[in-house]
């Protein structure tokens, strides 16, 4: 490329000018491209935010009318505490809506800012509705990636049967879920371990 430019300069002044113009145009269009890429990313992130935010607000509004649905003393044993059939169904729908939002957050979590903003929400919904999530009949409502995330982040979003800060939960339900996730391919924890082994390997 450089030789072509030099040659152009050495020949006629007109060719030199047009080469310069071409180079400038190239620089400008590259700048414009990277700028629009950045602004696209910014717009996309803020759309994601307002989308999740709106859904979460709706959920909170619902809980104002049904404060029992956000009382862990009741939700942690919801089949026993919500004896009325309609109330039980309503709670189950509520918990599903809550975890559905969490799944969306997890899907888009590679965005660092999203992580900082919404991790406290995952923590709170986990504290309130983990019993519902652990019920076997709800397993099919979420993707493998979601379960993988929950199991590998037990430290931050612990299972009801696990102590806080424990890397993995060893209750029967979590073991079953692990088997399910493994049957679909490598898990997050396995991937993390093999990456660590590669880092530790002598060079
Ligand atoms: Zn568990």
Same domain, 134 and 169: no
Question: Of the candidates 141, 166, 194, which is a domain's last residue?
Answer: 141
Distance 127 CA to ligand 1 centre (A): 13
Whole-number Å distance between alpha carbons of 26 and 41: 23
Distance 80 CA to ligand 1 centre (A): 20
Distance 130 CA to ligand 1 centre (A): 10
Q: How far is CA 27 from CA 86, 105, 126, 132, in A?
A: 65, 38, 50, 56
**Is residue 19 in a domain?**
no
Same domain, 117 and 150: no
pLDDT of residue 199: 85
Distance 22 CA to ligand 1 centre (A): 63
Same domain, 135 and 160: no
**Is residue 20 in a domain?**
no
Question: Of the candidates 117, 141, 165, which is a domain's last residue?
Answer: 141
pTM over 0.85: no
Distance 188 CA to ligand 1 centre (A): 17
pLDDT of residue 130: 98
Same domain, 154 and 66: no
Same domain, 50 and 121: yes
Same domain, 56 and 124: yes
Domain of residue 132 covers: 41-141
pLDDT of residue 78: 98
pLDDT of residue 6: 55
What are the per-10-residue average pLDDT scores of the chain (203 residues)? 59 65 75 71 75 94 96 97 97 98 90 81 97 98 95 95 90 96 84 83 75
Distance 163 CA to ligand 1 centre (A): 10
């Amino acid at each position: 490329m450089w030789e072509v430019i030099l040659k152009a300069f050495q020949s006629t002044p007109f060719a030199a000018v047009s080469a310069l113009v071409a180079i400038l145009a190239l620089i400008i269009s590259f700048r414009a491209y990277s700028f629009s890429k950045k602004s696209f990313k910014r717009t996309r992130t803020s759309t994601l935010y307002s989308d999740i935010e709106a859904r979460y607000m709706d959920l909170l509004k619902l809980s104002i009318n049904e404060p029992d649905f956000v009382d862990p003393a009741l939700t942690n044993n919801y089949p026993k505490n919500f004896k009325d059939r309609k109330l039980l169904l309503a709670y189950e729908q509520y918990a599903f809506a809550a975890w559905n939002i969490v799944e969306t957050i997890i899907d888009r979590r590679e965005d660092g800012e999203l992580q900082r903003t919404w991790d406290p929400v995952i923590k709170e919904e986990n504290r309130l509705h983990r019993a519902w999530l652990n019920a076997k009949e709800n397993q099919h409502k979420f993707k493998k990636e979601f379960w993988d995330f929950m199991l590998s982040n037990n430290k931050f979003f612990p299972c009801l049967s696990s102590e806080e800060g424990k890397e993995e939960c060893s209750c029967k339900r979590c073991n079953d879920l692990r088997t399910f996730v493994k049957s679909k391919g490598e898990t997050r924890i396995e991937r993390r371990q093999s990456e660590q082994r590669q880092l530790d390997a002598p060079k």
